[in-house]
Structure 1
Amino acid sequence: MNGYRGARTALIVGAGVAGLTAATALAGAGWQVEIAEVNPSRATSGWGLCLTGPALRALAELGLADDCLTAGYGMSVITHVDVDGEPAGQARLPRLIGARRPAMAGIARPVLHRILHTEAEQRGVVVQQGLTVTAVDQEGELVRVQLSDGTIRQVALLVGADGIRSSARSLLGLETSLRYHGQMVWRALVPRPQWATGIHQFAGKADTAGLVPISAGQAYVFLTENGVEQSVLPEAELVPRLQQLLEAFPGRVEEIRPLASVSESVVRRPVLTAFLEGAWNRGNGVVIGDAAHAPAPQMASGAALAIEDGLVLAEELGRHRSVGAGLDAFVSRRRQRCRTLVETSVAIAGLEHAQRHHEAYPLTDAGHRLMAGPA
């Protein structure tokens, strides 16, 4: 198979999950990679996330699944609890990295980013903090990129991995709209109760709540607030408001509520989705991760798609004679899988909003089984 043999230089915009994974995979394939990250520090927002089976499978290809399982909390079961606080069933997720290994893992965001940063830099990736891209032009076989400090890069590949509000996407002339779903998602870090050995999801009469272990000693509470306008609350109002919302839930949430009330920090974010219907690439530039396809959090699979993107991008560039052909193949391979996941997550969000939890559960299970297929 004759792969690309030209200059293997890449600039990635964004040092999140998608950007760091793509950088690691490309560096492993012999590319010289630089990342421009607008945040001047490596601090990350949010408390934790789920690495589902597809995410662990992709991380295993990079040699990182064991590190993530050791640092996080391995799980295989999602327990659904009804509005009366009674168990409503369990979903046992596919074990994609071995029958004796967990199906998924909860992990703190800062811990995951530290693992990804360390591996990328060990492979020679240079991460530039406090920089972003301000201009992009295709010049023959190379992309001319101007950074926010005024310096210029000429690279064979530009990857926009800078999230749902991607500036790289706009500079490449690729436009999409963001859709707000009338939901705000809350998260708070709490001590892990002994009974929380998997994800618990609690149906409420108005909202939905849950608990995700992220280490032996910690978990994060999440709550999806339905039927609200997108807004920003003062910091001082977050903890008492979350406690008030959790008061509507019976059963084990009554044990979680006081833990959330003394949490060091509470994060509240809008449920936004996006899918780039047209091209994801132009010239030798491409967008990946949330810049191309941002699902709702209900499927807990945004990280999996982002990690898969990085591996598939490196694979397809290695199979084609030109960067453009490799990018076309990457988009062709990824488009339908990512579209289906985004659409499924939106459907689940709508069912939760309508309090049709009994319909959302099997759809979630079907979505995870679909994701178990090849990337």
Structure 2
Amino acid sequence: MSYRALATRPLLTLAGVTVAARLPVAMAPLAVVLLVRERPGGYSIGATLAAVYVVGEVVGASVLGPRLKAVRARPALAAGLAVGALAFAGLALCAGAHPVVLGALAALAGGAPGAVPGGTRALLTSMVEESAVAKAFSADAILSYGIWAASPAVATGLALGLDPVVPMYLAAGLMAAAGAGLWALPAGWPADEGDRGGVSMARTLAAAWPLYVTGAAGLSLLALAELVLPALLEQRGVAVGWAGPLLAAYSVAAAVGAYVYGLRTWPGNPSRQSLVLLVGVSLVVAAIALVPEMLWIGVGLVVAGVCQSGVQIARSLSLKEALPKSAFAAGYSLMYASVGAGYAASAVLAGVVQSVAAPSTAILWGAGMCLGLVGVAAVGERGKLVPSGL
């Protein structure tokens, strides 16, 4: 099956909803920094608001995702997007308010739509034939990396070129549009509530814990690339302005990697692929910390991007195999939460290490943490994953 076969009206509609729902999420951390940067201590306040937003995402995905009802998920997803849209609009309207007010709005903007990533992924799974799921996940990854590559430029261009509140209004409008777009899609996805064999939802989700660990490990590396790269370039005597183009190259490489992954069937099962690729990405990131020239840093980021997209797709396929249909949305939501937790943990580790050591050392510590998580997941996957027929 070719990628062109995915270009049906329902799937293109879902792609539009996905873009409208994800672009605000991708813009938000940078947009909240730009919103308050001109205040006294604005960058510190902005960093705190960005962290609060991410925490809101993690909590929202963990709490709301498992509560989605498969066959009638649409009202809950639309409500979450509507509240998120109002919260983003509130950030724009209350830009001069006390930081506590902005923090509450940021947490709501991140948390209210927390079930949407898992819900849309479950919807995508139900809208394609089983043989096309891997290719659909690849296309979804290409879309995601394109969004993440474009979001910094969109947020910065609007905030600096027009007004710092404009990205917030755009995010509000996009989330509202995504909520409206859901009504052009199926109301949910088929699920036999008895397909867990009497096992509770909590136990079903908990049995897939090694996959959530790989999710945390995967994005911990992205956090290193985004947060430590400017300091690493400065350490190497390279202009910090190169960080933007290098990260853009990473995103483009990841999109290419996602495309290539979907072209054929690869050796090994998705779980094995995910672990092997994660080890590869960890080693490449560690090498980036050691090479002295920007050219090799760029090459390393490109290789890491290609492998990272394979990790993301293989992880999604593994989760689909490990869970029954009735747990898809909850499982994808918990994966989303674990990814956010991994990003946050790596950011904290990088900050702590950089306070006492060089940026290159922080990257090495982060790569070591990722390899440790991969080891834990590998041990767990030897006997703890639930068969897909549970």
Structure-1-length-normalised TM-score: 0.27
Kindly indicate which of the two structures has a greater share of residues assigned to helix: 2
- What's the TM-score once normalised by structure 2's chain length? 0.26
